[in-house]
C-alpha cells in the first residue's frame, strides 16, 4: 500500500471509530441527562465547566456554545481551581466536571470542595463508577470503547464524545428557552452568521449610489448613468415607480444588434418587470433571490417606489455570501 492510500485508510478508520462512538452515546442516555438539563434550565446561576488536559479544551468549547445560545457559562481550569480560582463558583452556580477517567488527582481534590459548597454537580465522564461518577449529582455517560489513536492513548474518540454531549446539552437548553434566530443575532452581531439574521436590504442599498433614468432618456445618457454610479445597472423610473432595468448586458446586446443606436432611448433597450425587493427585507432574502434568478443586482423599493440598488458584491463584502 502506498503512503497516500495508507493515510486515507487511517483517516477513514478514525471517522468510522468516532462516528460509531457518537452513535453509541444515544444508547447510554438516561434520566440523569434530562435531570441535568432541567437543573441548568431552572438555575438562577451560571454553569461553571471544569476539566484538565484535553477535557479542559473541550470544556472551553462547551462554554462558548452555551454562552452563544442563551445559557451563561464560565470555564474554570481544574488545576487552577484548587489554587485560588475556586472563588469563581457562586452560590447558585451549577458545576459540570469533565474527565474521561473521573479519577485524576485534580478532580479528586476539586470535587469534595464543590460538594462542601453545596453546588450541584454534573459529571461528563467515560467511567460512571469512578470517583467523579460516584460523587456527582448527575452523571452523563460519555463512555467510548477505544480511542482513534492506534495506541489507544491520545484523547481522540473520548474528547469527541465529550464535545457531542456538551452540544446535546446546549441544544436541549436552547429549545427549552425558545432561543430564536433573533436571539442568535443578538449574541453574534459582528459575525457573518449574525449578519444573515439581522442585516436588511436597506443597510446595503443605502451605501450605494442610486442610478436612474427615465423612459425617454437617450442611450448616451444611459451609458453615462451606469458608468458614473458604478453598479453595472440603472433603474428606469416613471413617477418614482420602477418600470424597467438596464444592465451592462443589455448595452452589450444592443451594440451587437445595431450600429445605429444613438437615436434609441431607455424604453427601447430596457427589460420590463425587473426583479425587485423591499428595503425592509432581510439581506439574506436578497441573496436567495439573486441566486435563484442568476442575477447580480436587485432594484430596491420603499413603499412601492424606487429606492436604490443592492449588488451581489455588497453581500459578499458583508460575508452573507
94: nearest Cα among 130, 56, 49: 49
Residues contacting 12, CB < 8 A, separation 6+: none
Task: Report the alpha-carbon angle 40-44-48, nearest 5.
Answer: 55
Phi, psi of 259 (to 5 degrees): -90, -25
Give the span between the Cα atoms of 137 and 315, in whole angstroms. 49
* Cell, residue 88: 469563581
77 is in an annotated binding site: yes
Task: Annotate 280-321 with DSSP letters as a single string.
Answer: TSBHHHHHHHHHHHT-SEEEEEETTEEEEEEEHHHHHHTT--
Distance from C-alpha of 173 to C-alpha of 163, rounded to nearest angstrom: 15
DSSP-derived pairing of the beta strands 121-125 and 212-213: unpaired
Residue 247 near residue 269, CB atoms below 8 Å: no
Residue pair 78/108 in contact by the 8 Å Cβ criterion: no
User: Can you tell me the distance from the alpha carbon of 157 to that of 137, in angstroms, rounded to the nearest whole number?
Assistant: 25
Binding positions: 77
Binding positions for Zn(2+): 77
Amino acid at each position: 500500500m502506498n503512503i497516500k492510500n495508507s493515510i486515507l485508510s487511517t483517516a477513514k478508520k478514525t471517522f468510522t471509530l468516532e462516528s460509531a462512538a457518537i452513535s453509541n452515546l444515544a444508547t447510554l442516555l438516561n434520566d440523569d441527562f434530562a435531570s441535568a438539563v432541567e437543573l441548568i434550565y431552572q438555575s438562577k446561576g451560571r454553569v461553571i465547566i471544569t476539566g484538565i488536559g484535553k477535557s479542559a479544551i473541550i470544556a472551553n468549547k462547551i462554554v462558548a456554545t452555551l454562552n452563544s445560545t442563551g445559557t451563561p457559562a464560565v470555564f474554570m481550569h481544574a488545576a487552577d481551581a484548587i489554587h485560588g480560582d475556586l472563588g469563581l463558583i457562586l452560590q447558585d452556580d451549577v458545576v459540570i466536571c469533565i474527565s474521561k477517567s473521573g479519577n485524576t488527582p485534580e478532580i479528586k481534590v476539586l470535587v469534595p470542595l464543590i460538594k462542601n459548597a453545596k453546588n450541584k454537580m454534573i459529571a461528563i465522564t467515560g467511567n460512571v463508577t469512578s470517583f467523579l461518577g460516584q460523587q456527582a449529582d448527575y452523571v452523563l455517560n460519555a463512555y467510548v470503547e477505544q480511542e482513534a489513536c492506534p495506541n489507544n492513548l491520545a484523547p481522540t474518540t473520548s474528547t469527541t464524545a465529550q464535545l457531542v454531549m456538551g452540544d446535546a446539552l446546549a441544544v436541549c437548553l436552547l429549545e427549552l428557552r425558545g432561543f430564536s434566530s433573533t436571539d442568535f443575532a443578538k449574541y453574534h452581531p459582528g459575525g457573518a452568521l449574525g449578519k444573515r439574521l439581522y442585516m436588511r436590504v436597506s443597510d446595503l442599498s443605502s451605501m450605494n449610489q442610486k442610478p436612474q433614468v427615465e423612459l425617454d432618456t437617450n442611450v448616451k445618457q444611459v451609458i453615462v448613468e451606469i458608468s458614473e454610479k458604478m453598479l453595472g445597472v440603472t433603474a428606469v423610473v416613471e413617477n418614482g415607480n420602477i418600470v424597467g432595468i438596464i444592465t451592462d448586458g443589455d448595452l452589450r446586446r444592443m451594440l451587437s444588434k445595431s450600429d445605429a443606436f444613438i437615436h434609441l432611448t431607455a424604453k427601447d433597450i430596457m427589460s420590463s418587470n425587473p426583479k425587485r425587493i423591499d428595503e425592509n427585507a432581510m439581506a439574506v432574502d436578497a441573496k436567495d433571490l439573486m441566486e435563484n434568478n442568476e442575477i447580480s443586482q436587485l432594484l430596491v423599493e420603499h413603499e412601492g417606489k424606487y429606492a436604490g440598488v443592492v449588488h451581489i458584491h455588497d453581500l459578499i463584502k458583508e460575508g452573507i455570501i
